[in-house]
Structure 1
Amino acid sequence: MSSQNTDWTFPQDVGSAPTPNLIDGDWTQSTSGDTFSAFDPGTGRVIAEVTKADAHDTDTAVAAARRAFDEGRWTRLPAAERGAILWRAADIMDSKADELGVWESRNMGIPVPQARTMVHEAANQFRYYAGWADKVHGHTIDLGPAERRVQGYTLREPVGVVAMIVPWNAPLISASKKLAPALAAGCACVLKPADETPLTALWLGEILLEAGVPAGVVNVITGPGDTVGAALAEHPDVDQVAFTGSTEVGRSIIHAATGNLKKLQLELGGKSPVIVLPDADLERTIPAVAGAVFWNSGQVCAAGTRLFVHEAVHDQVVEGVAAEGRRLRLGYGADSDVDLGPLISQKQLDRVTSYVDGGRASGADVVTGGHRVGTDGYFFEPTVLTGVDQSMNVMREEIFGPVLGVMPFSDIDQAVALANDSSYGLASSVWTENGATAHGIARRLRAGRVGLNVHRAGGAYMPAGGYRQSGWGRENGEEGLSAYLEVKSVVSTLD
């Protein structure tokens, strides 16, 4: 390594000094000395220079994780102690929620109060999985006839070294949803945050060291996806890749992982449907539907971006959601009374703009929004489109912005067919006062999560993941822990 500093701590103001990577318990710069810039999307200005890891640095980080795992630095600790360390990490995160919230806001743009809430949600991942650390149990099975009994039992063991590649839209939560269950399972980890939002991931590495996670068990490296991410996906000493991001990148990880047939956990894209029936409580439904698509400026993989409304209430719902969008206050994340921050980058702003412009060109009507706001930062108006159909890109492809397409339907069968007419299947929601109808529709929707009179809920407790091109496997809940475990069968005679 070109330099090491075991005493580095995350400063209140990063300044111009390059922010180092965490490898084997040491804070290091890259062997090349190269850096890249982290930006504030609310202003478009640089807020930090970050170490730019390369393939050699990736090898070093993976080797550190492999040594830590093979030496049992983490697994040799009593399971209850490992759980206590994870709980301590949650407490530290909560105690630093103000600082972490400010940095999460500065680096991704979300308003500070919402960022603080996300910090607490991330901390709860560690608190939840702390309780699982000493509950990783197998089963015993008696086999064969009484005169020649064979005993069988199963062991649930950590998969080994896990590479974690996380997105920019919820950096702390995404990292915590992978690190917490993997550590509860006993794995060693290499975390690569998104290029756009590397800062709080590094702070999380510091918190885990402070909580008592041994050196090398958690390593954090920052660098481009096409070098660091690709190197992790194909690395022969990586046993599993856990990835959250686009379906396109997910496919490339699948191909890269074939070298050693490593396990994969993939949470990919979404184009989530929202169904509003004529008996829905519109006073409650309309603001909730608006929140499902506009929260975090639509930069949520499970955002409800396709709205199917019964024709009897279509116009009322469209105007209501549009009015909610117009009421939302856009602004810099640290300003008071701000509801929505910017998109993450100029690239994302251009992407969202092109989808809306393409929708207009295809015949869609813009009920509200559809334009950039201001010239500083990357702000885009909450947008509602009508006159759309299932053939349009705005209704088929993930936009990752505050853009909602609305279509009417006349009966439930049509609504379900429209909702399921997608290559994705991540999330969905149904809005009705009839419980039997709601649960009946839930069984018919091809999605990993269905909300009934709610779009997003469950947190660490409920499994989340997708059908079809929305991914493989599940995060959260017991399923999230199982994703990082292997099952071993042992059989023996009793004589």
Structure 2
Amino acid sequence: MSYPELSLMIAGERIGLAKETGGQRRSHAVLNPATGGVLGQLPLADADDLDRALAVAEQGFAIWRRSTAQQRAAVLSGAAALLIQRQEEIARNATLEEGKTLAETRIEVLMVAQLFSFYAGETQRIYGRALVRPEGQRSTVTYEPVGPVAAFAPWNFPIANCGRKLGAPVAAGCSVIMKPAEEAPASALAVLQALLDAGLPPQVAQVVFGVPDEVSRHLLASPIIRKLSFTGSTVVGKHLAKLAAENCIRTTMELGGHGPVLVFADADIDHVLNVAVGHKFRNSGQVCVSPTRFIVEESVYDRFRTGFAERAAAIRVGDGLDPDTQMGPMANPRRPEAMEVLIGDAIEHGATLHTGGKRIGNQGFFFEPTVLSDIPLSARIMNEEPFGPVALINSYSDEAAMIAEANRLPYGLAAYAWTSNAARQKRLAAQLEAGMVGINTVAIGAADAPFGGVKWSGHGAEDGPEGLMACLVTKAVHEG
């Protein structure tokens, strides 16, 4: 299989580098993180392209808001089946452009298929209610699609993130303009193509690529856009929220995290290590819910730190297409540079480096799985999301101190805890400040469960009934 030709997708039309009026669109070189080589040239939208996408989205909303629940369900279930049929091709292209292993990108395809299947059922359960009124009067509450959605998806889950951005609006009866990451365009186009091939009217969903700030300012300045859905960093999320506020655009924001992991002495330490190490280094740690700050009870600290470092050092790093690879490269050249800066700063502040800490080779964007311990809270890496293959391990004396550290930062996306004490499990569930909490598990995402954070990690949720409701508005109708 060869890497596909890249394009924008507006009204079902693939738009390449050549302009209809002559000349060429600007382009972005898509790189293979394993080699640093160029996979293809991606056309970038200009103002005319964005205006066309907006006009088409307005038409698409007029069409799709009148669709029946059964029509939406048929498209979503059909797209789910097509994704499964095309799993290998989609997964391979995602590995080529993002770097993670084939095992991980195959799972991503299945995640989107499961989400579309869930929404195929959920779209038929958009219920309203009738209020009790005196005879001759009637009051109802109904839910209607919010309108055209501007959706911005990051590169770290190039298939799953795009499935989230498209699935809920389509299920709700909205149209959508999605701007995926320019680093991973083929994955996004494949998800949209499955929906189109399953019968989605071409006006309903568009994909544009471009200079991020140009695209976001242009789309969010338009009165056509009624909702913004963004997944990405807290810094960018705050900026987009300000732009959206100018037109009172509704927002769903899934922003950064700095996942705390509380490990108590009564946990099965070997089991925790076997699970947590693999979860820490999946996708080279480029995961918003990645377990990052390991907050370990003093009596098991040395054992945990040693076991973690040994397992991390044994991870096989290589090309994601190699079946023996356990961790692929980082997704772009910016990430290894960021890792070196943050790890260097931590060591300067007195942290102990147990394994890793540097790039691998001079081809591609590979970085060693890294373990630091005894990191002062003043180090940048203890306060800024590292978004890379680094685990931070510190010891704490008791439960109260561990919970305080877990809640110290303004982030609140995912938190994890390992303990066999049932009473403590209940306390942790209540006291950890996060949108998602995993107790004795790292499995915190599912098609039927809300995915989102609190504090600086954003607001609103994707997936589950909550993700669908985020694309609906409430209307009360009173008849006398």
TM range (shorter): over 0.9
- Counterpart CA distance in 1 for 2:470 and 2:240 is 17
1:355 equivalenced with 2:342 (yes/no):
yes
Q: CA deviation at 1:410?
A: 1.1
Q: CA deviation at 1:257?
A: 1.0
Q: Distance in 2 between matches of 1:33 and 1:277?
A: 56
Say whether residues 1:293 and 2:280 are aligned partners: yes
The 5 A counterparts of 1:73-84 are 74-84=64-74
Distance in 1 between residues matched to 2:30 and 2:338, nearest whole Å: 20
Within-5 A mapping of 1:104-253: 104-143=94-133, 146=134, 150-253=137-240
Choose the corresponding residue for 2:32, options 14, 36, 40.
40
- Paired residues for 1:417-456 under 5 Å: 417-456=404-443
Aligned: 1:86 with 2:45 = no
User: 8 Å contact 2:61–2:204 — kept in the other structure?
Assistant: yes
Amino acid at match of 1:244: T
Question: What are the within-5 Å matches in structure 2 for residues 4-43 of structure 1?
Answer: 12-14=1-3, 19-29=6-16, 31=19, 32-43=24-35
Aligned counterparts, 1:266-305, within 5 A = 266-305=253-292
Cα displacement (A) at 1:149? 5.9
Contact 1:142 1:149 in 2 (8 A): no
Number of the residue aligned with 2:379: 392
In structure 2, C-alpha distance between the alignment counterparts of 1:154 and 1:390, rounded to whole Å: 50
Aligned partner of residue 372 in structure 2, secondary structure: strand
| Residue aligned with 2:132, SS | strand
SS at match of 1:131: helix
Q: Does 1:97 align with 2:87?
A: yes
Q: Please say if residues 90 and 124 of structure 1, whose CA atoms lie closer than 8 Å, have aligned partners that are also in contact.
A: yes
Contact preservation (8 Å) 1:292, 1:456: no
Give the whole-Å Cα distance in 2 for the aligned partners of 1:34 and 1:389: 45
Q: How far did 1:250 drift?
A: 0.4
Question: Retained in 1: the 8 A contact 2:349–2:376?
Answer: no
1:364 and 2:351 aligned: yes
Distance (whole Å) between structure 1 residues aligned to residue 30 and residue 91 of structure 2: 16
Match of 1:312 among 295, 299, 315: 299
Give the whole-Å Cα distance in 1 for the aligned partners of 2:387 and 2:405: 20
State yes or no: 1:460 paired with 2:460.
no
What is the distance in 1 between the residues matched to 2:422 and 2:219?
Answer: 46
Q: Assess if the C-alpha contact under 8 Å between 1:462 and 1:476 holds in 2.
A: yes
| Rounded Cα–Cα distance in structure 2 between residues aligned with 1:297 and 1:461 | 26
For the residue of structure 2 that corresponds to 1:479, the secondary structure is helix
What does residue range 329-344 of structure 1 map to in structure 2 within 5 Å? Answer: 329-344=316-331
User: For residues 358-413 of structure 1, what are the alpha-carbon distances to aligned partners after superposition, in whole Å with 9 as ceiling and x for unaligned?
Assistant: 11111111011111111111111111111213222111101110111111111111
Question: Could you state the TM-score of these two structures normalised by the residue count of structure 1?
Answer: 0.94
Deviations 1:296-326 (A, max 9, x none): 1000001111010000000111111111111
State the alpha-carbon separation in 2 of the partners of residues 317 and 236 from structure 1: 54
Give how far 1:102 is off.
0.2
* Displacement of 1:78: 2.3
Structure 1 residue matching 2:438: 3-state secondary structure: strand
- Contact 2:318 2:325 survives alignment (8 Å): yes
Q: Residue 373 of structure 2 contacts residue 393 of structure 2 at CA under 8 Å; is this kept in 1?
A: yes
1:141-176 alpha-carbon deviations (Å, 9 max, x no partner): 113xx4x66321111000000011000000110011
SS at match of 2:412: coil
Q: Structure 1 counterpart of 2:50, which letter? A: T
Shift of residue 65, structure 1, vs aligned partner = 0.7
| Partner residue in 1 for 2:458 | 471
User: Do 1:388 and 1:406's aligned partners in 2 also have CA atoms closer than 8 Å?
Assistant: yes
| Paired residues of 2:42 and 2:182 also in contact (CA < 8 A) | no
Q: Secondary structure at the match of 1:388?
A: coil
SS at match of 1:288: helix
| CA offsets 1:166-193 (integer angstroms, 9 cap, x no match) | 0000011001112111111100011111
Number of equivalenced pairs = 475
- Counterpart Cα distance in 1 of 2:105 and 2:152: 21
Q: Matched residue of 2:266: which SS?
A: coil
Q: Counterpart of 1:445 in structure 2: which amino acid?
A: L
Question: What residue identity is the alignment partner of 1:379?
Answer: F
- Equivalents in 2 of 1:319, 1:292: separation in Å? 17
Of residues 319-328 and 238-247 in structure 1, the stretch that sits farther from structure 2 once superposed is: 319-328
Structure 2: distance between partners of 1:326 and 1:140: 61
In the TM superposition, residue 258 of structure 1 has moved relative to its aligned partner by 2.1
Q: Which amino acid aligns with 1:366?
A: L
Partners of 1:123 and 1:301 lie apart in 2 by 21
Aligned-pair CA distance for 1:456: 3.0
Give the CA deviation at 1:291: 2.4
- 8 Å CA contact 1:100–1:200 kept in 2: the answer is yes
Q: Secondary structure at the match of 1:238?
A: coil
SS at structure 2 position matched to 1:43: coil
Q: Secondary structure at the match of 1:98?
A: helix
Q: Deviations over 1:55-107 (max 9, x none)?
A: 2211211110111112x2x2333211210110010000000000001001001
Q: Distance in 1 between matches of 2:50 and 2:306?
A: 51
- Once the 2 structures are TM-superposed, how far is the Cα of residue 458 of structure 1 from its aligned partner? 3.2
Distance 2:239 2:221 in 1: 10
Q: Is the 8 A contact 1:236 1:259 kept in 2?
A: no
Amino acid at match of 2:469: S
Looking at structure 2, the residues matched to 249 and 281 of structure 1 have their Cα atoms a distance apart, in angstroms, of 39
What amino acid is the match of 2:42? Answer: V
* 2:58 partner amino acid: R
SS of corresponding position for 1:460: coil
Tell me if the contact between 1:270 and 1:398 (Cα under 8 Å) persists in the aligned partners.
yes
Correspondence 1:54 to 2:46: yes
